[in-house]
Amino acid sequence: MKLRHIVIAVTVLAALALVVSFVNRPAPPAAADARIGQPILTRAAAEQAAALRLAADGHVVELKKDPAGAWLVASYHDFPADLDKLSRFVRSLAETKVESYVSAQPGTVARLGFKDTSVRLLDAAGKPLLDLELGKTPDNRSGRFFRHTGESKAYLAPFESFLDTEPKNWADTTLLALAPDDIAKVELTLPDLPPVAAERSSKQTPFVAAGPDSRPLKSDAIKSLLGNFTSLRFTDTTALDAAEALAAKTAPRTIKLTTFAGKSATIALGRKPEEIKRKPAAPPKPDVAKAATGADADKPTDKPADAPAKPAEPEFETIPAGPVFAQVTHGDASAPVNALMAKRAFEVSDYIFTSLPQKLDDLFEPPTPPPPSAGIPMAAPAPGIPAGASGLSIPIP
């Protein structure tokens, strides 16, 4: 083969190799999504938030900021919001970063579990600062699928799997928050006991009773009262006219706290008492008389007549005591707790009620026992009789 033919063949093969390489070259990598690695919520947006709406499984909770800047639970009687819980939630959104892009294909997105779970954060004008739909949690990794409402792209981020949509859980449960060291006077009015007042001149001095008993007060009893009532929280609420709430007002236990600054708060505790009721008597069983017919009617019988039936013993049932309700009246008419008391009846822990003193001995130290008696001196023995001898001589047979 001539050299020229070889050169032509090599040139042709090289050209073909270039064509094949161009056709089979890999596609350029797609540009990374700009949201990857970025926080779900920017801090600037978080600072503008004026409303929060959470929805899941048919439940909705809404929080809003009022004109004075206070956060309220709009879906729970406009109660003050738990600011610690709200701050933690918003901070978690600002600290959670988009982990990966998942898909925008309708078939794939349909399998990610987007239903009715959503998170919306709005500004004061009602404009969305964040509007997310949450899907399910992946089977093989942590996090949760999400997408921005109105978009087809789905992403994955390390969201917490639980979204609390119980409105009551977002309310601040504080009814009273006082410092025990600030209390100068405690006044108790309890059923079947005389009123008791205890006061002190400074937080370093002990409480002294100003009531009917001159004994020293038990320091632990006063400490327990201050611990229970200076930081009082509710566990649930109900309508003001609910039967159990009304029954709790019939025999209240009253505790009044007064600070060194002259501010006071009165807490009235009560509950519907336990009730033992007689059960309705069961209807008597009908007597089934054996009818004698024919020849059997004339036959004599040695069977004695039935004794009269013994009346049934009455049966009783115990109806447990109702929940404990607390009515708080602050001496400052503008205190927020006074407005809360006009909205709902507030349940508190049973322990707050059952730990109250039941008798004066629960509040006072036991009485000091009298000094031992010196006794009656014995008469001196008669002369000539040794000490300790009785002076009698008994012969021994």
pLDDT digits (tens, 9 = 90+) for 289-298: 555 555 555 5
Q: Give pLDDT, residue 300.
A: 59
- Cβ within 8 Å of residue 11, ≥6 positions away: none
Provide the 3-class DSSP secondary structure of residue 22. helix
* Furthest-apart CA atoms within the chain: distance in Å: 169
The mean pLDDT of 118-144, rounded to a whole number, is 93
Contact 91, 42 (CB under 8 A): no
Q: What average pLDDT does the structure give for the chain?
A: 84
- In angstroms, what CA-CA distances link 354 with 214, 248, 321, 351? 25, 14, 12, 5
Cβ atoms of 207 and 199 within 8 Å: the answer is yes
Q: Report d(CA 172, CA 70) in Å as an integer.
A: 12
Q: How far is CA 237 from CA 25, 233, 325, 348, in A?
A: 70, 11, 9, 9
Position 168 scores a pLDDT of: 96
pLDDT of the residue at 174: 97
Q: Is pLDDT of 126 > 60?
A: yes
pLDDT at 395 over 80: no
Distance of alpha carbon 230 from alpha carbon 179, whole angstroms: 6
Mean pLDDT, range 112-137, rounded to an integer? 95
Write down the pLDDT at residue 280.
78
pLDDT surpasses 70 at 212: no
H or E segment to which residue 47 belongs: helix 43-47
Distance CA(113)–CA(29), nearest Å, equals 29
Q: Is the dihedral of CA 189, 191, 194, 198 positive or negative?
A: negative
Q: In this structure, what DSSP letter does residue 377 have?
A: P
At 297-307, the pLDDT tens digits run 555 556 565 66
Two tokens, residue 24: 């089979």
pLDDT, residue 394, reads 42
Dihedral through CA 242, CA 247, CA 248, CA 253, nearest 10? 160
Confirm if 321 and 272 have CB atoms less than 8 A apart. Answer: yes
Q: Is the pLDDT of residue 64 over 80?
A: yes
pLDDT at 389 over 50: no
- Cα 121 from Cα 196, distance rounded (Å): 52
Backbone angles phi and psi of 258, in degrees to 5: -125, 130
Give the mean model confidence (pLDDT) for residues 181-188: 96
Residue 311: its pLDDT value, please?
67
pLDDT attached to residue 346: 98
pLDDT of 260 above 60: yes
Torsion sign (Cα): 183, 189, 191, 193: positive
Note the pLDDT tens digit of each residue in 320-357. Answer: 889 999 999 999 999 999 999 999 999 999 999 999 99
Q: How far, in Å, are 115, 277, 317 from residue 281 at the CA level?
A: 55, 12, 12
Tell me if 318 sits within 8 A of 274, measured CB to CB. yes
**For residue 285, is pLDDT > 70?**
no
pLDDT in tens, 15-60: 555 544 544 444 444 457 899 999 999 999 999 999 999 999 999 9
Has residue 396 got a pLDDT over 70?
no
Q: Report yes or no on whether pTM surpasses 0.85.
A: no
Least confident of 195-199, 264-268, 298-302: 298-302
For residue 246, what pLDDT is reported? 96
